[in-house]
Structure 1
C-alpha cells in the first residue's frame, strides 16, 4: 500500500486543466439508466455525447461512467451538463478528500469506497454530479459496484425510485458506498482475532509485521471515513432545492451507519495499538524467562566449577603436611561426584522453593 497515491498536476498549472495519466487508465464504459414513474430504460452508450438525447426528456437520468475517465470524456460531459471545470479536475486527479461542493444548480460530491481483497486495501474515489433531473456517477473500476441498486430499480412496481427525484438515487448510491466499509471492517476483525491468538501462543516477527500493516490500513481508512461523515452531515442539514426534506430522513440513516463504522474503526485501532504493546511485553517476558534460566544454569555451575578447580590443581607431595590427601583416597573420585550432585540438588531445591523455576 503506497503512502501517497494522489494524482495531481504540476505546481503552477492553471485551475481546471484536464490532463490524463500517462498510462491511459482503464477503458471507459458509459451506461445510462433513464426512469420515470412508469418505466425504466437502460442502455450502453459509445460516447458521452450520446447522453444529449436524454436531457430533453421528462424523466430522471442516471449516467454511470466506469473506468478511468479520460480528459475528452470529461470535457464532453462538462459541456453537455454544464459541469464546473474545478469539479472535473477533481474527478481526474484521484485521491481527493471526500467532500461536497454546492454550485448554482448542481451538487458535486466525492465519496470514498473502501475495497479489501484480504491482502490489499484500495480506496476508490467515486465522483457524483447531481442536477435537477440527472445524476452522473464516475467510478474508476471496470466492474460496476452499483449493480445492486440497478437490480432494485429494475424490479416492477418499485415506487421508491420511480416516483422520487434524483436525490433518492443519490442516497441509494451513497448508502452502498458507506456500507461497503462494513465487510472491510469485518475482515479486519477476523485478522485481529487471529493476531490475538498468535500473540498469546507464538508471537514472532511476522506477527509484528502484520500488526504494523493493519495499523497502517486502519489509519488510511480513518483518513477517508472521517470526512465522509462530515459530507453526510452536510447533506442532512442542507437546504438546497436539489435535496427534498423527505429524503433527508434517509441521509440521516446513512449518517448513522457512518457513525457506527467510525466507532468500529476506532475500536479496531485501539485494539491494534494494545496488541503492539502486548507483543512488546510478551517479547520482554520471553527474554526475561530466558535470562532467568541462563542465570540459574550459571549459578548451579559456579560451585561445581569451584570444586573441580580445586581438585584439578593436583598438588601432591608424600612428605608435605599441606598436600591434598584426597588425591590418594580410594573413593575420592566418586566422593567428589557425590558432593557436586548434592550441591546441585540443594540449589535446585532452593530455587524451586523461591519460585524461580
Structure 2
C-alpha cells in the first residue's frame, strides 16, 4: 500500500481533562479494529480472531503465554475493554490512543506491567519519504499486548512463523522474550530502510558527479529531511533499551538482557550509519555546489575569452566608424580588406594564445 506522511486531525482533548481520559488522536480510519489472540506454550500454539472481547477472560493465562495483537487503535471501546481485562493503567491506555507519542518506556509497578512505545517506519521509494506508525506494547506476567495502527501489512508475520517452530526460543522462554522479539523485528526493519536510503544516496552521488541537475539538489534536501526524521525516532530507542536492561524488574529476566544488549548494539549501529549517511548527503551537496560552481566558472571563462578576442576588433571597427573626412585609410581602395585582414589576424592570434594557455 502506498503510504504518505501522516497528517493528524486536531486534538479533541480539552485543556484540563482528567488524566487518563480516553481520546483517540491520529489518522481518521473507517475500517474496523481487528484483534488477534495467540496462546502458546512449549507443546502447542492456538490462534484465534477475537470477535467478542469478553471471551478473552476465558483464555488460559496462568499456565500458558498470551499474545494479543490489536490492529487499529482508533476504536476506543476496544482499547478500553482490553484495559479492563488486563488491568491496564488509565495513563497507559491514554498513550496507546495517542499515536503522536515519541518512543518511550514506562514502568507501572503497581500493576507489575511495562509499557513500550516504538515507531515502525516504512520508506516510500517513489516519493522519497519515510512514514511511521506507532507500535505500543505492554508486558505483563504471562502476556504481551501489541497495539498497531491499522495497516494492510502484517509486520509481525515473521514472529508468527517462529511460533510455529516447537524448537524456537519464543516457545520455551517467557513473555519477556516475546517482547524482545517484537522490538528486535522492528529494529531489523530499520536496517532495510537505511539500506534503501543509502542506495538512493549512492545513485545521487554518481549522478551529481556525472551531470548535476537542480532536481538532484531537491532530492538531497528531501533525503536529509527524512534521515533527520528517522533519527528522531531511533535515538530514544537507545535510552529505552538501556533503561530496560538496568531496570530491576522480575518481568525481564537476566537471560533476556543478553538479547536486549544485542538489540542495543544494533540501535547504536543504526545511529552511526544514519550519521554516516547524513555526512554522505552533506558531501554530495558540497559536490553539487562545487560542480555547479565549476560549470559557472567554465562558462564565465569562455565568455571572458570571447570578450577579450572581440575587444580589439570592436576598437578597430569603432575607430574607423568615426565620421571624419581626413582619414587616410578611408581613401585607400583596398583599406576595407586590409582592415578585415588585420582583424582576422588579431582574432586568430588571440584564439591560439588562449588555446596554448588552456583557457579554451
What TM-score do the two structures reach when normalised by structure 1?
0.92
1:219-258 alpha-carbon deviations (Å, 9 max, x no partner): 0011010001111112222221000111111111111111
In 2: Cα distance, 1:149 partner to 1:2 partner: 27
CA contact (8 A) 2:22 2:76 kept: yes
What is the CA-CA distance between 1:191 and the residue it aligns to?
Answer: 0.7
In 2: Cα distance, 1:5 partner to 1:215 partner: 23
In 2: Cα distance, 1:77 partner to 1:7 partner: 26
The verdict on how the C-alpha distance between 1:199 and 1:36 changes in structure 2, with shifts beyond 3 A counting, is same
Matches within 5 A, 1:95-244: 95-104=100-109, 105-118=112-125, 119=127, 120-142=129-151, 143-155=153-165, 157-244=166-253
In 1: Cα distance, 2:199 partner to 2:113 partner: 42
The verdict on how the C-alpha distance between 1:41 and 1:115 changes in structure 2, with shifts beyond 3 A counting, is same
The verdict on how the C-alpha distance between 1:25 and 1:225 changes in structure 2, with shifts beyond 3 A counting, is farther
In 1: Cα distance, 2:47 partner to 2:247 partner: 31
Q: Which residue of 2 aligns with 1:341?
A: 344
In 2: Cα distance, 1:202 partner to 1:19 partner: 52
Q: Which residue of 2 aligns with 1:320?
A: none
In 2: Cα distance, 1:56 partner to 1:161 partner: 16
CA contact (8 A) 1:30 1:44 kept: yes
In 2: Cα distance, 1:11 partner to 1:269 partner: 39
1:5-35 alpha-carbon deviations (Å, 9 max, x no partner): 5975343332111123583454211111100
Task: Could you tell me which runs of 5 or more consecutive residues in structure 2 were left unpaired when the two chains were aligned.
Answer: none
1:102-138 alpha-carbon deviations (Å, 9 max, x no partner): 1121000001111113123111211000100000000
* Aligned counterpart for 1:277 among listed residues 282, 286, 308: 286
* Aligned counterpart for 2:51 among listed residues 46, 54, 72: 46
Q: Which residue of 1 aligns with 2:320?
A: 311
Task: Could you tell me which runs of 5 or more consecutive residues in structure 1 were left unpaired when the two chains were aligned.
Answer: 317-322
Q: Which residue of 2 aligns with 1:248?
A: 257
CA contact (8 A) 1:18 1:89 kept: yes
Superposition RMSD in Å = 2.0
Aligned residues: 350
Q: Which residue of 2 aligns with 1:82?
A: 87
1:25-84 alpha-carbon deviations (Å, 9 max, x no partner): 542111111001211101111143321111554210000011234111111011111111
What TM-score do the two structures reach when normalised by structure 2?
0.91
In 1: Cα distance, 2:170 partner to 2:53 partner: 24
In 1: Cα distance, 2:9 partner to 2:275 partner: 24
In 2: Cα distance, 1:172 partner to 1:33 partner: 15
In 1: Cα distance, 2:10 partner to 2:356 partner: 67
Bigger-Rg structure (1/2): 1
Further displaced range: 270-279 or 202-211: 270-279
What is the CA-CA distance between 1:199 and the residue it aligns to?
Answer: 1.2
In 1: Cα distance, 2:348 partner to 2:256 partner: 82
CA contact (8 A) 1:7 1:94 kept: no
In 2: Cα distance, 1:273 partner to 1:47 partner: 54
What is the CA-CA distance between 1:351 and the residue it aligns to?
Answer: 2.3
In 2: Cα distance, 1:162 partner to 1:2 partner: 37
Q: What SS does structure 2 have at the residue aligned with 1:330?
A: coil
The verdict on how the C-alpha distance between 1:229 and 1:5 changes in structure 2, with shifts beyond 3 A counting, is farther
The verdict on how the C-alpha distance between 1:7 and 1:255 changes in structure 2, with shifts beyond 3 A counting, is farther
Q: Which residue of 1 aligns with 2:98?
A: 93
Further displaced range: 67-76 or 239-248: 67-76
In 1: Cα distance, 2:10 partner to 2:164 partner: 36
